[in-house]
Amino acid sequence: MNERTNMLRDDALKGQVIVITGGGTGLGLSMARTCLELGASVCITSRKKDVLDKAAAELERTTGGKVMAHACDVRKYLEVETMAKAVRERFGSVHGLVNNAAGNFISPTERLSSKAFEVIIDIVLMGSVNCTLAFGKEWIANREHGRSIVNIVTTYAWTGSGFVVPSACAKAGVLAMTRSLAVEWAKYGIRSNAIAPGPFPTKGAWSRLLPGELMERFDMTERVPLGRMGDHRELADLATYLLSGHSGYINGEVVTIDGGEWLKGAGQFNGLEAVEPDMWDAVEAMVRNVKGS
């Protein structure tokens, strides 16, 4: 894959304004870069203004696009409303929202305080709800059609997963919101879709999900049929496609981008990968020799 080429044409998002929560780091930053390369103006928002300012300066320098850095805690609706107003004042209108901000850490659930559970639900579920409400209400009131919401979830939004239970509950809620609003808000010209990434290396996720020696003990690539991690550009291509008019008939979908990871875990016989190729003749002979029921 050519590292430097985007999937969409260079002007695919020209004139669009995209808000990306958690846009100063990790996957949010990568999506912001691709949006800018495709001609959009971007607002990146998260809690840490210094991180956002640094990211915005680097993005503007490397892409030549317009980047607004606005500090906002997505858990706080008033801050989200202020952010939404500020983006509108700066750019006039907003065309796409990427609910990407998240909080997560691994822990046996019985070790969690109620507050620890709540903080993840607040960031992931309520943060996505708050931004969706703030922008959705404006779009509906102003009769602005052709808007796109892209929610970043995970594959355990539908399978569930031990040791990240608050995140699994919150992401399941975000997926339910995605599918619900895809129907309810379609009449306003607002599409809602989700992306479920598999493992994509980022400092934020890796330091909290695979700290220290866990990184070596749980080689994520072994879980992925394609035998590798995701490339940020692959996810950014998908996100920008879902934001753009090219995906105008896709609504209520969750697109998995995980190299086949979750299906490998789900299929009961996928573990037979461990059978050596030269054993299969003997296995076949045994099966063919079975007589009766």
> Which residues of the shown chain bind ligand NAP in the complex (CB under 6 A)?
21-22, 24-28, 46-48, 51, 73-75, 100-103, 123, 127, 152, 154, 197, 199-200, 202, 204-205
Number of residues binding to ligand HXC, judged by CB under 6 A: 19
Q: How far is the CB of 278 from ligand NAP (least distance, A)?
A: 36
Give CA–CA dist 43/19, Å, rounded.
Answer: 5
74 binds, among ligand NAP, ligand HXC, none (CB under 5 to 8 A by kind): ligand NAP
> Helix 127-141 vs helix 77-91: angle between axes, to the nearest 10 degrees?
50
Tell me how long the chain is. 293
Q: Three-state DSSP class for 187?
A: helix
115 binds ligand HXC (CB under 6 A): yes
203 binds ligand HXC (CB under 6 A): no
Which residue's CB is nearer to ligand HXC, number 23 or number 103? 103
> How far apart, in Å, do the first and last CA atoms of the chain sit?
50
Nearest to 103 by CA among 132, 133, 128, 136: 128
152 binds, among ligand NAP, ligand HXC, none (CB under 5 to 8 A by kind): ligand NAP
105 binds ligand HXC (CB under 6 A): yes
- DSSP for 159-204, written as a single string: H--TT-HHHHHHHHHHHHHHHHHHHHTGGGTEEEEEEEE-----HH
Backbone angles phi, psi at 199, to 5 degrees: -70, 120
Give CA–CA dist 19/66, Å, rounded.
Answer: 12
119 binds ligand HXC (CB under 6 A): yes
**Residues with catalytic roles:** 156
Q: Three-state DSSP class for 17?
A: strand
Q: How far is the CB of 204 from ligand NAP (least distance, A)?
A: 2
Which residue's CB is nearer to ligand HXC, number 25 or number 193? 25
- Measured torsion, CA atoms of residues 244, 245, 250, 255, in degrees rounded to the nearest 10: -20
DSSP class of residue 111? Answer: G
Nearest to 199 by CA among 174, 216, 175, 222: 222
100 binds ligand HXC (CB under 6 A): no
Which residue's CB is nearer to ligand HXC, number 63 or number 104? 104
Position among 39, 189, 204, 260 found at the interface with ligand HXC (CB under 6 A): 204
Q: How far is the CB of 20 from ligand NAP (least distance, A)?
A: 9
Which residue's CB is nearer to ligand HXC, number 136 or number 173? 173
The amino acid present at 178, given as its one-letter code, is T
206 binds ligand HXC (CB under 6 A): no
Which residue's CB is nearer to ligand HXC, number 5 or number 113? 113
Which residue's CB is nearer to ligand NAP, number 38 or number 69? 69
Residues 6 or more apart whose Cβ sits within 8 Å of residue 257: 195, 196, 197, 198, 230, 234, 235, 238
Binding site for ligand HXC (CB under 6 A): 102-105, 107, 111-113, 115-116, 119-120, 154, 167, 199, 204-205, 208-209
